[in-house]
Amino acid sequence: MKRIALLALIMLLALFPLALAAGEGIDFNAYGYADETPALRDVFADDFKVGAAVNTVNLAPDSEFYRLVAKHYNAFVLENEMKPENVNPAPGVFLFGPADRFVAFGEELGATLRGHTLVWHSQVPAWWFKGEGGGDATREELLARMEEYIQTVVGRYKGRVAVWDVVNEAFSDQSGLRRDAEGSKWASIIGDLDGDGNDLDYIERAFSFAHEADPDARLILNDYSLEGDARKLDEFYEAVRTMLEKGVPIGGAGIQAHIQIGYPSVSAFEHAIEKLASLREIAPDFVVQVTELDVSIFDWNDKSAEKPITPELQKRLAERYADLFEMFRRQAAKGNLDMVVTWGAYDGSSWLNGYPVAGRTDAPLLFDRQMRAKPAFWGLIDRSYIDEAVDALP
């Protein structure tokens, strides 16, 4: 009897190191594009689409970047090349080269494509807002330009680009709609067309034009800070509710989610998804998408020039990402969320290296500057890998 107990003890002790090293045999410093690295889109296949913002200049087939994004993502968006200032720089001029290449790339991979963005106050051509007779464009001129743009662009990719960010960043950081003081002329020029007492009309028109151009596309109203700013979330929610009740064809809310390592809380973010997804009471097909996720290692008000990317910081970022994606899974299981897109694919290509402090090094994504998988990546594959991945850092 004693011998059997001793034998069992010895066997248990022999197994112990295995239990500790759950990630035995994994090269935690593998390149994201390496065959041995698990693919994000497989890991989340039952939950939501995982996407990344890309630029066509990086999409040469066989490049490391191409291999990275082709392996991990099943949704894509162009970072800048489908914005109106690039597509429609002058009256009657439409430049579709990069957008066509992007759509062909996405179709080759069988991915879901997002069109970003149709109506925004930034990266729009200045001529849209100028009147033919001088001064500002008239309401009629601006509406005609908006209609022509949306019909032409959405019509061109009908049935191929499945999701459009129809209107981007329409809401103010102070109150109500963004207006001239925050760089937008849309609401002040177009105003209240139907006399119902609000200026949501330019948004309503944009969605109607897009719906006419492609009735099957999912049409998104996209904005930032919804995950952390309760006042903005409430105003955004009320506006969407008002428009859905009028029958405006809004198919979902886009939460950009340019967030930080310490803010906002996952519970505030989860609340935002739940609240917006509750609009399904009015529009049964309504859904939330996370459209531009990145997690800066700097706090919002931290304007310092650099921050050392220590193993402790990598661990914090990994836990933050793991918490977020566990929450996204919960929300997807409820039918509230169907897509999570990161703004860029690896740290070297993130806009945060230039914003809000030019030239500083941020590390907000899942793959590092050499495209190696970070502890934040491994934490999404299996949370129990985080410590080992941190220990294995070069």
Give the residue numbers marked as catalytic: 169, 223, 292
Show the binding pattern over residues 207-226: x = contacts ligand GLA (CB under 6 A), - = does not. -----------------x--
Quote the least distance from Cβ 116 to ligand GLA, whole Å. Answer: 6
Closer to ligand GLA by Cβ: residue 205 or 258: 258
Restricting to residues 322-341, name those near ligand GLA by CB under 6 A.
Answer: none
Structure token pair of residue 311: 């193993």
Nearer to ligand GLA, 74 or 225 (CB): 225
Q: Identify whether the C-beta of residue 289 lies closer than 8 Å to the C-beta of residue 338.
A: yes
Residue nearest to ligand GLA (CB): 351
Smallest distance from the beta carbon of 278 to ligand GLA, in angstroms? 24
Nearest distance in Å: CB 324, ligand GLA? 17
Residue that is written with structure tokens 């850092």 in the block:
393
* Positions 240 through 279 that interact with ligand GLA (CB under 6 A): 256, 258
Phi, psi at residue 172, to the nearest 5°? -75, 155
Residue 212 Cα to chain centre, angstroms: 25
What's the token pair of residue 272?
């935002």
x-or-dash pattern for ligand GLA, window 163-182, by CB under 6 A?
-----x--------------
Contact (Cβ atoms closer than 8 angstroms) between residue 388 and residue 317: no
Interaction of residue 229 with ligand GLA, rule CB under 6 A: no
Where do runs of H (alpha helix) occur along 278-348? Answer: 311-333
Structure token pair of residue 357: 């402090």
289 counts as binding ligand GLA under rule CB under 6 A: no
Q: With CA atoms as reference, report the closest residue to 371 among 43, 52, 23.
A: 52
Strand 75-78 with 112-119, pairing = parallel
Q: Which CB, 258 or 320, lies closer to ligand GLA?
A: 258
DSSP 216: T
**Which token pair is 365?**
């994504």
- Closer to ligand GLA at the Cβ: 204 or 292? 292
Residue among 237, 315, 318, 316 at smallest CA distance from 280: 237
Of 63, 38, 68, 37, nearest to 52 (Cα)?
Answer: 68
The distance of closest approach from Cβ of residue 80 to ligand GLA in the complex, given in angstroms and rounded to an integer, is: 7
User: If binding is defined by CB under 6 A, does position 292 make contact with ligand GLA?
Assistant: yes
* The one among 176, 179, 351, 357 contacting ligand GLA by CB under 6 A: 351
Binding site for ligand GLA (CB under 6 A): 116, 168, 224, 256, 258, 292, 351
